[in-house]
Structure 1
Amino acid sequence: VSGNTVTAQVDHFTMFAVMVAVQEPALTDIAGHWAFDSINKLLATGCIGGYPDGTFRPDHHITRAEFITALVKAFGLEQKEGKSFTDTAGHWAEEYIATAAACGIVNGYDGGNFGPDELITREQMAVIIVKAAKIAPAAENPSFDDSDSISGWAAEAVNTAAGSGIMKGYPDNTIRPQGNATRAEAVTVIIDALNISPSNS
C-alpha cells in the first residue's frame, strides 16, 4: 500500500475487491476530563457518539432531543408510538421522543410542544432520569445553597437524583437546577442511573 495505491501479486486474471477497514479516530478532547470513564462507557454502547472532527465536546451543552435519544438507547427501551407533540413531526429524534413519552418518562410543555432542540436544564434532566431509572425518593434531601431555585415540579426528582448520587452538585455547594446540562454531565447521569436502577439489577 502506497498512498491511495494498492499493489498485489496474483497468479491468475480475475476481478478483485479491496476491503478497507476504517478505524474510528480516538476522541481528542476527553483525555484527563473528569467524565472520561463515563464517556467511554457510553460511547462503547453506541448510545452516543462524537463529532466528525474527532471531538466529543464534553463541556458543550446538550439538547433535550439528544439527551432523550441517548437515554432511550442506554436503557434499551423498545420503540413505541407515544404522545404526538406539535414540534417533533419529522424531527430526527421523533421516534425516541415518542418512545420516552409512551413510557411515561417525558410529558412535554403546556401547549403540546416538546422543544426538542432546546438545551436541557439540570432539573429537567433530573426529572427524566429518575422516571427512567425508577429511583425511589431519597430518605434524606441533600442541602444545597441554591435549593430555593429548584422549581416545585422538579424538587422531589432533584433531591432523589442528588440523594442517590446520580446527580452531583458543584464545589460551591450549588446544584444549579436552572443551568443547562453539559454532554459530560448527561453521560455521567445516565451511566450512574444504569448502575443503580432496579430495572437493571
Structure 2
Amino acid sequence: EEEPFAEIEAKVLVANPVVGSVSYENIPAGYKLDAVNSTELPFTVTVEANVIKVYYIVGETQELEYTVEYYMNGEEEPFEVIYGLVLASNPVVENVSYENMPIGFELDEAISTELPFEVFIAEQDIIKVYYKARTDISYTVNYYLNNTTTSVASTKIVENQTFGNDVTENAISISGYSLVSQSSVTITLELEDNVINFYYRAVGSSDDDSRDDDSRDDDNRTDDSSPPTIVSPSVVEEEEVIELLDDEIPLGALDRENHFQYLRGYPDNTIRPEGLITREEVAAVFYRLLTDSYRESIFTMEHSFTDVEEGRWSTKHIATLANAGIIKGYSDGTFRPGQYITKAELAVIASRFDKLSPFEGDSFSDISDHWANTYINSAAAKGWVNGYSDGTFKPDKYISRAEFVTLVNNVLGRKVKKEDILPEARQFPDLDESAWYYEAIQAAINSHYYIRLEDGYQIWTEIYYPELDM
C-alpha cells in the first residue's frame, strides 16, 4: 500500500546514529515481514535519510479471523456472533451460514454486508447479516353459517402482510343473518394458516337449528353420542350421582407431578399472553403433558382428517390425541387446525382428562342452552374455569393464551406466588410482572422442581432444562 497504516518516532545519539532493530509487534495476523522491500537493518540515520520503511506481506499458510454478526430487524445489538478463519493468501469469505434465520424472516440484502467479502487487517474483519420479517404473508377471513364451513359471504384474502404483525378484522353485516361470534378478532400473523372466522345464523333460527344433530361437543364430534346427562343432586344423593358418572372414564393421563415447560415463545422473543390460541396448538400442549407411558400407548401418525396434511408440524399431536378420543373433528371430516379455540371447546377437551363433577344449577348466566353446558358446569365445579364479573362465561369467545394456561394450570394443580418464582426464570419483553396472568404464564414456560405447601401453592427450588418432545 502507498500509505502506512502506522508510524512511530524514535531518536538516536548523533555520536552513534545507528538503528539496529525495530519493533514488529504491530504485524497483523496472517502477515510476515517483507525483507526484500523493507529498509535493510542496521540503518544509519542522517539528515537526508531518516525514514525506515517496514513492509508486511501475506503469509502463505497464515489464517485470518473474521466475525459474523447477526441482527434482527435492524436492531443495534446482534442476537448471535460467530467466528471463522480464512487463509491469508486468499482472504475471501464466499458464504456465511443462515441456519439461525428465525421462521418467518428473510435476509435483508439491502443492509447486510455484501458477499463475497475480503478480510483485511483488523479494520475490516466483520460481516454483518440482517434479517427482516417476511412481507409476503397472507390471511383469510371466512364468514360461515354457525358451526359449519358453509359460507354466507365471499371469503376475504389479504396478502402482502408482515410476519409477526397483529391484524384486526371486524365482522360484516350480512342480509338475512345475524352474528353469533365475536364482532372483532385480532390475530398475530404466522407463516401460514392465518385464518379468522366469523359465524352467523339465519334470522329467525336458533343456534341449535344450524347445528348437525351429531355435532354437540366442542369438536362437532362425528359419532352419535351426546354429552352425558348430569342428574341433579336435588333428585338423588351425591354418591349416586358420582356412581352415575363413573362411565365417564378419563381418556387421558396427564403428568401432574413433573412441572416441565409446556408453552413456548415465538421466534421474535415474545410470548403473546393476550393473543389467541389455535386448535392445533392446544393439541400440541396436551400431547406434551401426557405421561410418557400413556403417550406411547396411544401414539400414532395415522388420522382421517382431510385438512391435516402429511408433514404438518402438529400432525403427531393431532393424530395421537384423536386416536385416544381426546379431540375430535367436524362432521365434514376436517379438524381445522388453524382455527382458534373457544372457551367452551377447551372446557370439553379438559374434561376428558377427569370424571365429570356433579353440580346443582348453572354456574353462569349464559350457558343454560349451550351445547357444552355439562362440561362447563363440571369444570366450574372443579375450580378449573371462572366467569366474568357480570356472571357470564362467554362460552363462544375465543380464549387467549393467558386464559388457556390458567385453565391448564388449574387442571394440573400448578400454583405459585410471584415471590416464590426464582429470579432466573424465563422472561419475555411482553410479559408484564404486574399482569394478572404473570404467575400462570411463568408456571407454563419454566420447567421447575418445587415443594408443595398445604394450601396447594408451590415454592420453586430449581429451574431445569430438560429435552422435551415439543
Q: Compute the displacement of 1:105 (Å).
A: 0.6
Task: Give SS of 1:125's match.
Answer: helix
Of residues 363, 369, 377, the one that matches 1:143 is 363
Q: 1:51-106: CA deviations, max 9, x gaps?
A: 22222111111000001111111233515125421111232111101111111111
Q: Compute the displacement of 1:149 (Å).
A: 5.7
Which residue of structure 1 aligns with residue 411 of structure 2? 193
Aligned equivalents of 2:359, 2:366: Cα separation in 1:
20
Task: Give SS of 2:413's match.
Answer: helix
Aligned equivalents of 1:93, 1:5: Cα separation in 2:
32
Q: Compute the displacement of 1:145 (Å).
A: 2.0
Asked if structure 2 preserves the Cα contact closer than 8 Å seen for 1:146 and 1:175, the reply is: yes
Of residues 163, 166, 171, the one that matches 2:381 is 163
Asked if structure 1 preserves the Cα contact closer than 8 Å seen for 2:359 and 2:377, the reply is: no
Asked if structure 2 preserves the Cα contact closer than 8 Å seen for 1:122 and 1:181, the reply is: yes
Q: Compute the displacement of 1:124 (Å).
A: 0.5
Which residue of structure 1 aligns with residue 58 of structure 2? none
Over the residues paired in the alignment, what is the CA RMSD in angstroms?
A: 2.3
Which residue of structure 2 aligns with residue 111 of structure 1? 332
Question: Which of structures 1 and 2 has the bigger CA Rg?
Answer: 2
Which residue of structure 1 aligns with residue 401 of structure 2? 183
Aligned equivalents of 2:82, 2:273: Cα separation in 1:
38
Which residue of structure 2 aligns with residue 173 of structure 1? 391
Q: Compute the displacement of 1:181 (Å).
A: 0.7
Structure having greater relative contact order (Cα 8 Å, sep ≥ 6): 1
Does residue 57 of structure 1 match 2:289? Answer: no
Aligned equivalents of 2:369, 2:400: Cα separation in 1:
19
Which residue of structure 1 aligns with residue 346 of structure 2? 125
Q: Compute the displacement of 1:165 (Å).
A: 0.8
Equivalences for 1:37-76 in 2 at 5 Å? 45-76=260-291
Q: Compute the displacement of 1:141 (Å).
A: 4.2
Q: Compute the displacement of 1:185 (Å).
A: 1.1
Letter in 2 for 1:140: E
Aligned residues between the structures = 154
Aligned equivalents of 2:82, 2:377: Cα separation in 1:
60
Of residues 310, 315, 339, the one that matches 1:94 is 315
Cα distance change of structure 1 residues 141 and 189 upon mapping to structure 2, 3 Å threshold: farther
Which residue of structure 2 aligns with residue 36 of structure 1? none
Structure with greater helix percent: 1
Asked if structure 1 preserves the Cα contact closer than 8 Å seen for 2:344 and 2:376, the reply is: yes
Cα distance change of structure 1 residues 165 and 84 upon mapping to structure 2, 3 Å threshold: same
Structure with greater strand percent: 2
Cα distance change of structure 1 residues 121 and 5 upon mapping to structure 2, 3 Å threshold: closer
Pick which of 70-79 and 186-195 moved more.
Answer: 70-79
Letter in 1 for 2:375: A
Letter in 1 for 2:289: A
TM-score (norm 2): 0.31
Cα distance change of structure 1 residues 104 and 53 upon mapping to structure 2, 3 Å threshold: same
Does residue 78 of structure 1 match 2:298? Answer: no
Q: Compute the displacement of 1:123 (Å).
A: 0.6
Percent sequence identity is 34
Cα distance change of structure 1 residues 5 and 64 upon mapping to structure 2, 3 Å threshold: closer
Task: Give SS of 1:158's match.
Answer: helix
Aligned equivalents of 2:402, 2:385: Cα separation in 1:
12
Asked if structure 2 preserves the Cα contact closer than 8 Å seen for 1:127 and 1:158, the reply is: yes
Cα distance change of structure 1 residues 5 and 181 upon mapping to structure 2, 3 Å threshold: closer
Show structure 2 runs of 5+ residues with no match: 1-77, 84-258, 415-470
Aligned equivalents of 2:290, 2:360: Cα separation in 1:
27
